[in-house]
Amino acid sequence: TDRRLHSHDVRPPVSEADWQNEVSAYGYEGFEGDANDYFRVDIVKSLSDGAAAKEHVRTIETKFRLVHIMTGCALFSHKVKLPDWGFDQQEVTCAKQGTLPNSIWYIEQNEHPLLGADAEKVNYKNPGFLGKFWELQKVMWTTNAGLVESHAWDSRPPSWPILRRGINFWGKERRHIYLIGNPVIWWSSSAAIGIYFIFKALSVLRWQRGFKDYEDVSFKRFDYEIGTSVLGWAFHYLPFFLMSRQLFLHHYFPALYFAIIALCQIYDFATNRISALGLRDRPAIGMSGVAAMLALSIVAFTLYAPLSYGNRWTQDSCKKVKLLNTWDFDCSLYPVRMSDYSISSAASGKVAPTKAPPAVAGNDKQKKKDANVTPQPEGDPHVSRVEKVEYRDQDGNILNEAQVKELEGKVSFETRYETKTRVIDSDGNEIHEEPAGAEGHAPPHPDVDRLPETAVDQPDDDGREKPATASPEDDIGKEKSVEKADDGKPRPASEPQEATG
Q: pLDDT (tens digit, 9 = 90+) per residue, 36-60?
A: 999 999 999 989 988 989 999 999 9
Average pLDDT value over all residues in the chain: 78
Proportion of the chain above pLDDT 70, given as a percent: 72
Coil/strand/helix, residue 444: coil
Q: At what angle do helices 183-208 and 217-237 cross, to 10 degrees?
A: 120
Mean local confidence (pLDDT), 278-290: 90
Asked if pLDDT for residue 204 goes beyond 50, the answer is yes
Asked if pLDDT for residue 468 goes beyond 70, the answer is no
What confidence score (pLDDT) does residue 200 get?
Answer: 96
Q: pLDDT (tens digit, 9 = 90+) per residue, 229-242?
A: 999 999 999 989 98
Asked if pLDDT for residue 312 goes beyond 80, the answer is yes
Asked if pLDDT for residue 359 goes beyond 90, the answer is no
Count Cβ atoms within 10 A of the Cβ of residue 10 and give its class: 0-12 exposed, 13-18 middle, 19 or more buried.
Answer: exposed
More confident residue, 114 or 323: 323
Strands lying side by side in the sheet with 167-172 = 175-179, 167-172, 440-441
Which residues are bridge partners to 39 per DSSP? 68
Mean local confidence (pLDDT), 296-302: 96
pTM over 0.95: no
Q: What are the contacts of 201-204 at 24+ separation with CB within 8 A? A: none
Coil/strand/helix, residue 367: helix
